Amino acid sequence: MSKVTAADLISGTNGPGVAKKDPIIVADGVTRQFGGLKAVDVDHLEIPRNAITALIGPNGAGKTTLFNLLTGFDKPNTGTWSFDGTNLAGIPSFKAARSGMVRTFQLTKSLGRLTVLENVLLGASDQKGERFWASFIPGIWREQENANREKALELLARFKLDAKKDDYAASLSGGQRKLLEMARALMSDPQLVMLDEPMAGVNPALTQSLLDHVLGLKEDGMTVLFVEHDMHMVRHISDWVVVMAEGKVVAEDVPEDIMKNQAVVDAYLGSHHDTDLGSITGQIEMEEALQAELAEERADADTEAATDKEQS
């Protein structure tokens, strides 16, 4: 698996709102005002298709609000956006989901008094038995249900929840609920998954396996957009990083270079200019350590790819 470079994704010179070669989401002039606060104020944003894009930014930058707007869970004051070429502005959330963009929530929404397996089965799309009259005739939906069940169990195994499949979702821990929500979102094979802090509270050992899973999704042609505060994870899996601050997109770049951008440093530290600069130096040191680590990883990945090729 070779790392994507900036040139593969964007057309023209880089900057906030840069055009992508093959965008799956294109948003224009999207604003959302809460009282006097402009929580989202995005002039132009494109999300590249079949890539993993990270959306980062300080707390309150408007990331979750932007997610809500794009998926129809909130209504913007102004703006239009399209998904896969079709206009989605003003479309109700369930239709947005049906068109192939499925999201998860920062504050997990597990269906407590449904079992874990039922939660995941709900994610399946086009289940004929979900229609009122069809539900009376199991012949119509039984086969589909069995296939879904198999797929759901596979997903649950992947997310280490298979042992809990018959428990009520309300009995899961916080991290497990995050996992359940992700499994549920993936059940419909969406074109685009939008994950709002998917790894918050998830045990690091499992994080690794899930990151691999997300990378696998990309291989299968899926597009991923995720919000994350953990820069380590961002560097590890994303191809592209979009930075928001105070509602605006302030920078975009490949993960290797994003932290070198002055706008990003300002965004993260802007309000703390008077604080001890030691923490910033600390960040730079960490940055270098991460660079080294990343280079190593990439070398590993390349040799792996090489051996893969030899084998096939």
Partner 1 sequence: MEILNAFFSAFVDSSSAAFALAAIGLGVHFGYGGLLNFGQAGFMAMGAYGFSIWTAVVAPTENWGWHPIASFLSAIVVGIIAASIYAFILGLPTLKLRGDYLAIVTIAAAEIVRFSVRTTELTPITGGSQGMTGASIKTDIQEINPLPSGQYGFWVFEAGAYDTWVRIIGWSLVAVAVVLVWALFRSPWGRVVKGIREDEDAVRSLGKNVFSYKMQVLVLGGVLGGLGGIMYILPRALQPDFFATPTTFYLWTALLLGGAATVFGPVIGAILFWALLNGVRSIIGVAHEYGFFFGLSSTQAAQLSFVFVGIALMVLVVFRPQGIFGNKKELSFNV
Residue 265 site contact among partner 1, ligand ATP, Mg ion, none (CB < 5 to 8 Å, cut-off depends on kind): none
Q: Site for ligand ATP (CB under 6 A): how many residues?
A: 12
Burial class (CB in 10 A: 0-12, 13-18, 19+), 88: buried
Q: In angstroms, what is the minimal distance from the CB of 42 to partner 1?
A: 21
Q: Judged by CB under 6 A, does residue 62 bind ligand ATP? A: yes
Q: What is the dihedral of CA 283, 299, 219, 213, to 10 degrees?
A: -60
Contact set for ligand ATP, span 70-89 (CB under 6 A): none
Judge contact between 199 and 139, C-beta under 8 A.
Answer: no
- Report CA-CA distances (Å) from 300 to 219, 227, 235, 306: 18, 27, 15, 10
- Phi, psi (rounded to 5 degrees) for 210: -70, -35
Q: Is the dihedral of CA 87, 93, 98, 104 positive or negative?
A: positive
Amino acid, single-letter form, for residue 201 = G
Q: Judged by CB under 8 A, does residue 171 bind partner 1? A: yes
Q: How far apart are the first and last CA of the chain?
A: 14
Q: Judged by CB under 8 A, does residue 65 bind partner 1? A: no
In degrees, to the nearest 5, what angle opens at C-alpha 262 toward C-alphas 260 and 267? 110
Which range in 59-67, 243-251, 261-269, 287-295 contacts Mg ion by CB under 5 A?
59-67
SS3 content of the chain, % helix, strand, coil (to 5): 45, 20, 35
Which range in 32-40, 46-54, 56-64, 167-175 contacts Mg ion by CB under 5 A?
56-64
Which range in 6-14, 27-35, 167-175, 246-254 contacts partner 1 by CB under 8 A?
167-175
Contact set for ligand ATP, span 6-45 (CB under 6 A): 34, 37, 39
The residue among 34 and 94 lying less far from ligand ATP, judged by its C-beta, is: 34
Q: Judged by CB under 6 A, does residue 106 bind ligand ATP? A: yes
Q: Judged by CB under 6 A, does residue 59 bind ligand ATP? A: yes
Taking CB under 6 A as the criterion, the residue among 20, 49, 63, 177 binding ligand ATP is 63
Give the number of other CB atoms < 10 A from CB of residue 274. Answer: 6
Which range in 2-10, 62-70, 208-216, 231-239 contacts ligand ATP by CB under 6 A?
62-70
Q: In angstroms, what is the minimal distance from the CB of 67 to partner 1?
A: 10
Give the contact letters, 104-143, x = binds to partner 1 (CB under 8 A), - = no.
xx---xxxxxx---xx-xxx-x-x-xxxx-xxx-x--x--
Q: Judged by CB under 8 A, does residue 146 bind partner 1? A: no
Q: Judged by CB under 6 A, does residue 65 bind ligand ATP? A: yes
Place of tokens 């975009």: 252
- Give the ranges where the chain is alpha helix by DSSP (H): 6-9, 63-70, 93-98, 116-122, 138-158, 174-186, 204-219, 231-237, 255-258, 262-269, 278-311
Contact set for partner 1, span 262-281 (CB under 8 A): none
Footprint of ligand ATP (CB under 6 A):
34, 37, 39, 57, 59-65, 106
